[in-house]
Chains A and B, each alone.
Chain A
Amino acid sequence: MSETAIQIRNMNKFFGTFHVLKNINLEVAASERIVICGPSGSGKSTLIRCINRLEEHQDGSINVLGTELDDNVSHIDQIRREVGMVFQHFNLFPHLTVLENCTLAPMLARKTPRGDAEAAAMRYLERVRIPEQAAKFPGELSGGQQQRVAIARALCMAPKILLFDEPTSALDPEMISEVLDVMVSLAKDGMTMICVTHEMGFARQVADRVIFMDKGEIVEEGAPADFFGAPRNERTRQFLNQILSH
C-alpha cells in the first residue's frame, strides 16, 4: 500500500445552518487519480475547496501530506504550497503577463530566485504547449489557452497534489480536448489528482476511482469499470443515465 496523500475523517461542513457536507470520509493515496461527479449543488466544489482551506470545515479532520488542517496559519500555508488548484473560470491575474502569472507564487511563497522561477515557468509552459504566449496578457488568449496557463501556474509551485474544479465546463467544445490532453499527461506522470468533472471519457481513461456525491454525501465510489458498468445505488444510476444520454 502506497503512502496516504489526503485523509478526510468524519468531516462536516455548514454554511450557516445549511449542512453542505455530511460526514465525509475519504482517503486518497499518493499518485491516485480521483474523479468526483454528482448533480449541481451536491457539494463537490465545497469538498475540494475544504482541502486547501478556501472553505473552512466545522467538524472532523482533514490531513494533507501529514499536515493537519487546523486553524494554525503555518499549517494552512504549508498545505497550500503543496496543493495546486485549477478553477472553472481560470482566475488568472489579468494585470500580469502569462510568465509573471507563473513566476509570482514561486518567487513569493517559495523564495525561488527570478531566473530559476522563469526557467521553470518556461518548462511548464512548454509542457502545456504554449511557450510562445509567455509575454502576453491573459486577456489576449483563448479560453483553452488560459486554462492551460492556469495549469502551468499551478505546476510552477511543484505541488504534490492537484485539485481541479470543473476545469473544462467554461470552455467551448473545441477547446475541451486540449485541456483534457494536458490533464491526461499529468495523470500518466503520477500526479495525485482530484478532479471534479463531468467528462466521463476522461474518468474512464485515467481515474483510479470515481466518486459520486449527492446532497452533501458520498453516495458511491468505485473503480471506473465497476462504477460505470454496474452502479449499485439508484441515485447513481439515475445520474449516469442523465449524463450519458446526451
Chain B
Amino acid sequence: MSVDTLSPLPGRKQSLLSRLFSRPLDVVISVTVLLFAASVLWQLSKWAIIDAVWTSPDATSEVCRGVSGACWAVIDVRWRLIVFGLFPYEEQWRSSLACIVMVIVAILSCVPMFWTAIRLSALWIVGFSIFYALMAGGVLGLTPIAPDKWGGLTLTVFIYAAGMLIGMPMAIALALMRRATLPVIARTTGIIIDSVRSLPLITILFTAALVLPFVLPEWLLGDKIWRVILGFALFFAAYEAENIRSGIQALPSGQEEAARALGLTYWQRTSRIILPQALRNALPPTINQFVISFKETSLIVIIGFFDVMASGKAAYGSGEWSFAWVEVYVFVALIYFIFVFSLSRYGAYLERRLRVGQH
C-alpha cells in the first residue's frame, strides 16, 4: 500500500511523514505522542459517544444508573430549563422565536448590503425591538411576562445584545468626546473612562442593581434589568472607547486636514472620513472586546439573574440529576463556544473583507 494512492496531496503528506519519522529518536517520540493522543481520543469518544445515554423515555435519571458513559439524557430532559430559564412553559415558543430573530439579525449584518451606518443600526434596532416585544409581551395580544421570569440562554442573549447595542454608540461618543477641542470635555471624559475601567464589572453591576435604588428617585429608576444592562454597556463602552480612540490616532493627520480643506463640517468629517477608517483600524481589539463581554454576561447571576450558566446549574442541581453536572457544563460550554467562535470567525471575515482596496 503506497502513500500516494491514499492521499490527494502526496507531497504534503510525505513531507509530514518524513519529518516525523526520519531518525530513530523521532520515531520513538512520534509514536509515543501519537499513541497517547489516540488513547485520549478513544477514552473521550467512549465516554461522550459510544457508552453515552442520549435519551430518557420516562424523563427520570434511571436510564443512567450504572452507565459508564456520559448521561446526555439530562440535556434531553432539562434543555428547556437551560435555554429558557423560568419562562412560562406554554410561552416558550416566544423565547425561541426571539432567539431566532436575533440569529437572523446577526446573519443579516454579515451581508455587505447592510453595511452602511444607517442600515446596520436600523436592522439592529428593528431586530431588537421584535426580540423585546416577543419576550416582554403586552403587545399584539401577547401575555406580558416580567423580566424576572426571563432566563437561560435567552436572557444571556438579551443582556448581551442590549448591552452591545447601547454600548457601541456610547463608546463612539466617549472616544470622540475624549478628543474634543474643549479641554473641559476632553478631560472629564478621560476621567469617566478611567474611573469605569478601574472598577471591576461586578461592582458596577452591584451598584446598578442594588445601590442606585437608594440614590435615584423612583421615576428615574426603571426596571432592574435595564439598570444592569446600562451598567454592562457603560463598562463595555469604557474599554471600547479606548480601542476606537487608538484607531483614530492611527490615522495620519493629513486625513482630517484634507477633509477640512474641502469644507466638510465636523460631523461630515467624523462620519465619512475619520470613523470609517478608525473603526476599521480598531476591528481586531473590538472583536476581542465583544468576545470578552459575551463571557462576562455570566456575572449577572450574582445580582439575581438566571442566565445560561445559572440555569445550567439549576438543571443538574435538583437531587435526581446531581451526578450529571459534567454533562451540563459541557453543554453550556458548547453553547458559549458556538457563540464566541462564530463571533471570532465573523471578525476574521470582516477583516478580510475590509482589506479590499487598502494597501
B99 CB to nearest A CB, Å: 35
| A157 / chain B contacts, CB cutoff of 8 Å | 262-263
A193 CB to nearest B CB, Å: 15
Contact, CB under 8 Å: B255 / A91? yes
Within 8 A of B (CB), among A63-100: 77, 80-81, 83-85, 87, 89-95, 97
A108-B268 Cα distance, complex, nearest whole Å: 7
B208 CB to nearest A CB, Å: 38
The reply on B122 being an interface residue by CB < 8 A is: no
A139-B355 Cα distance, complex, nearest whole Å: 11
| B257 / chain A contacts, CB cutoff of 8 Å | 54, 87, 91
Per-position binary interface string of chain B over residues 176-210, scored 1 when its CB falls under 8 Å from any chain A CB and 0 otherwise? 00000000000000000000000000000000000
A54-B258 Cα distance, complex, nearest whole Å: 9
The reply on B217 being an interface residue by CB < 8 A is: no
Per-position binary interface string of chain B over residues 337-359, scored 1 when its CB falls under 8 Å from any chain A CB and 0 otherwise? 00000000000000000000111
Chain B residue nearest to A110 in the complex (CB): B263
Contact, CB under 8 Å: A140 / B359? yes
The interface-forming segment of B58-66, B125-133, B270-278, B291-299 is: B270-278
CB contact between B272 and one of A87, A94, A108 (< 8 Å): that residue = A108
A88-B254 Cα distance, complex, nearest whole Å: 10
The reply on A243 being an interface residue by CB < 8 A is: no
A33 CB to nearest B CB, Å: 20
The reply on B313 being an interface residue by CB < 8 A is: no
A17 CB to nearest B CB, Å: 19
The reply on B252 being an interface residue by CB < 8 A is: yes
A157-B276 Cα distance, complex, nearest whole Å: 23
The reply on A109 being an interface residue by CB < 8 A is: yes
A240-B268 Cα distance, complex, nearest whole Å: 43
A53-B261 Cα distance, complex, nearest whole Å: 8
Contact, CB under 8 Å: A77 / B263? yes
A230 CB to nearest B CB, Å: 36
Contact, CB under 8 Å: B264 / A109? yes
The reply on A239 being an interface residue by CB < 8 A is: no
CB contact between A91 and one of B258, B276, B359 (< 8 Å): that residue = B258
The total of chain B residues at the interface (CB under 8 A) is 21
A171 CB to nearest B CB, Å: 16
Contact, CB under 8 Å: B262 / A77? no
The reply on A147 being an interface residue by CB < 8 A is: no
A53-B268 Cα distance, complex, nearest whole Å: 17
| A80 / chain B contacts, CB cutoff of 8 Å | 260-263
The reply on A153 being an interface residue by CB < 8 A is: yes
CB contact between A93 and one of B258, B260, B261, B263 (< 8 Å): that residue = B258
Contact, CB under 8 Å: B358 / A137? yes
A52-B259 Cα distance, complex, nearest whole Å: 12
A231-B260 Cα distance, complex, nearest whole Å: 37
Contact, CB under 8 Å: B264 / A93? no
Contact, CB under 8 Å: B357 / A93? no
Per-position binary interface string of chain A over residues 149-165, scored 1 when its CB falls under 8 Å from any chain B CB and 0 otherwise? 00001100100000000
A84-B260 Cα distance, complex, nearest whole Å: 10
Contact, CB under 8 Å: B255 / A93? yes
Q: Which of A95, A137, A154 has the largest number of chain B CB atoms within 10 A?
A: A95
The reply on A105 being an interface residue by CB < 8 A is: yes
Contact, CB under 8 Å: B357 / A109? no
Within 8 A of A (CB), among B269-319: 272-273, 276-277, 280
The reply on B265 being an interface residue by CB < 8 A is: yes
Per-position binary interface string of chain A over residues 107-140, scored 1 when its CB falls under 8 Å from any chain B CB and 0 otherwise? 0110000000000000000000000000001011
| B258 / chain A contacts, CB cutoff of 8 Å | 85, 87, 91-93
| A52 / chain B contacts, CB cutoff of 8 Å | 260-261
Q: Do A95 and B357 contact each other (CB < 8 Å), given the known contacts A87-B257, A108-B272, A109-B268? A: yes
Contact, CB under 8 Å: A153 / B254? no
A157-B268 Cα distance, complex, nearest whole Å: 16
| A53 / chain B contacts, CB cutoff of 8 Å | 260
Within 8 A of A (CB), among B9-66: none
| B262 / chain A contacts, CB cutoff of 8 Å | 80, 84, 104-105, 109, 153-154, 157
Chain A residue nearest to B261 in the complex (CB): A85
A31-B254 Cα distance, complex, nearest whole Å: 28
Chain B residue nearest to A53 in the complex (CB): B260
A105-B277 Cα distance, complex, nearest whole Å: 17
Contact, CB under 8 Å: B261 / A54? yes
The 8 closest A-B pairs by CB, nearest first: A139-B359, A137-B357, A91-B254, A91-B258, A105-B262, A80-B263, A85-B261, A109-B263
User: 22 A-B contacts, Cβ less than 8 Å apart?
Assistant: A54-B261, A77-B263, A83-B261, A84-B261, A85-B258, A85-B261, A90-B254, A91-B252, A92-B258, A93-B258, A93-B259, A93-B273, A94-B277, A95-B276, A95-B277, A104-B262, A105-B263, A108-B272, A109-B264, A140-B357, A153-B262, A157-B262
The residues of A with any CB-CB pair to B shorter than 8 Å are 52-54, 77, 80-81, 83-85, 87, 89-95, 97, 104-105, 108-109, 137, 139-140, 153-154, 157
Given contacts A89-B252, A91-B252, A105-B264, 11 further A-B contacts (CB under 8 A): A52-B261, A80-B263, A83-B261, A93-B255, A93-B258, A93-B273, A94-B358, A105-B263, A137-B358, A140-B359, A154-B262
